[in-house]
Amino acid sequence: MKKAALVLALASLIFGSAAFAADFPAKNIRLLVPFAAGGGTDAVARALAASAEKHLGQPVVVMNKAGGSGAVGMTEGAMAKADGYTVTMVTREIAWLPQMGLAQITPDNFDLLALINEDPAIMLVRPDSKFASVKDVLEAAKAAPGSVKFGSTAKPNFYLLALELNQKVKFNQIPYNGAAEAIPALMGGHVDFTMVNPGEAISQIKAGQLKPLGVASDVRMAGLPEVPTMTEQGYPIVTGTWRGLALPKGTPADVKAVLADAFQKAASEKEFTGFMNGRTLGIRFMKSEEFKTFVDNDVKALTDIVEEVKKQQ
């Protein structure tokens, strides 16, 4: 009797798991965004969610959990039940926050699902700004350290750190919860400049409400070909962000396969690619294993910057 009961229990476990995967998803899927609504990460997540729903057969509900430069939302995502019903949009912050001692989680707390987007940073000022070039901003900061106000989308801010370390300057960092807050602060005259991803400010740029001074990339952007790179202006600063999808560690492989297939299809949908191109948001898709290697390499690449920052603290 005991042997028969054990066999039945094992069969229930095996076939129950298979049945769960076959029925997945049976309810709404939560897509956690670790920044405020209205920013670039939020925009990518909402566009992707809308495209993914048709492939999953269930609503994909975007939930914003801002705070701690993304640490709050990403921590909640990592700690969620590993059943496939919580997906987190992870960003480059996951590669350096743990190294700075500002997050208790690391990329190893996730099963990385897919890279979706990668963008360079862009320096922005108001149209009536006294700064007409990247050189103007840097020279003002060198002449009076701490006098030029930077609207930061997070603190610490790696765009700013790249600028300060490369050029040996110091800015007055004013922190906000993402680009959704930093951009209005710049437009309202509360700060002198900001650095965000082009897609987060493309509407204001096209409307003439914000003026781009330079792109932190080796090459000019196809969507903004008239904007020079910082490199061609004499400042070899290359920095930006990436955004991808991750699941809590230990999510069943068959559930991951369902989600990976759905989000890969969603990322190639005309509605999604059209939205991304229209917002000047870069599309760069990687499957799970390639994405993991990409993140591991980024963690290593950022180590030197992190160590330099720690020395200055």
Domain boundaries in the chain?
A: 26-118+240-312, 122-233
pTM: 0.83
Query: How far is CA 141 from each of CA 32, 73, 170, rounded to the nearest angstrom?
Result: 37, 33, 6
CA dihedral 181, 32, 120, 196 (to 10 degrees): 0
Q: Do domains 26-118+240-312 and 122-233 have the same CATH topology?
A: yes
State both tokens at 134: 């990247």
Task: Tell whether the model's pLDDT for residue 12 goes beyond 70.
Answer: no
Write down the CATH superfamily of domain 26-118+240-312.
Answer: Bordetella uptake gene, domain 1 (3.40.190.150)
**78 Cβ neighbours under 8 A, 6+ residues apart:** 88, 105, 109, 110, 246, 248, 249
Please, which pLDDT band fits residue 313 given cuts at 50, 70 and 90? low
Greater confidence (4 vs 24) lies with: 24
Please, which pLDDT band fits residue 304 given cuts at 50, 70 and 90? confident
pLDDT digits (tens, 9 = 90+) for 88-106: 999 999 999 999 898 999 9
Q: How far apart are CA 62 and CA 86, in angstroms?
A: 10
Q: How far apart are CA 49 and CA 134, in angstroms?
A: 37
Query: In b/e form, how buried is each residue of 3-19, taking b as 16+ CB within 10 angstroms?
Result: eeeeeeeeeeeeeeeee
- Which pairing describes strands 110-120 and 283-286: parallel, antiparallel, or unpaired? antiparallel
pLDDT digits (tens, 9 = 90+) for 192-247: 999 999 999 999 999 999 999 999 998 899 889 999 999 999 999 989 999 999 99
| Domain 122-233 is found in CATH 3.40.50.2300 | no
Look at 74-83, 158-167, 267-276 and tell me which has the smallest mean pLDDT. Answer: 158-167
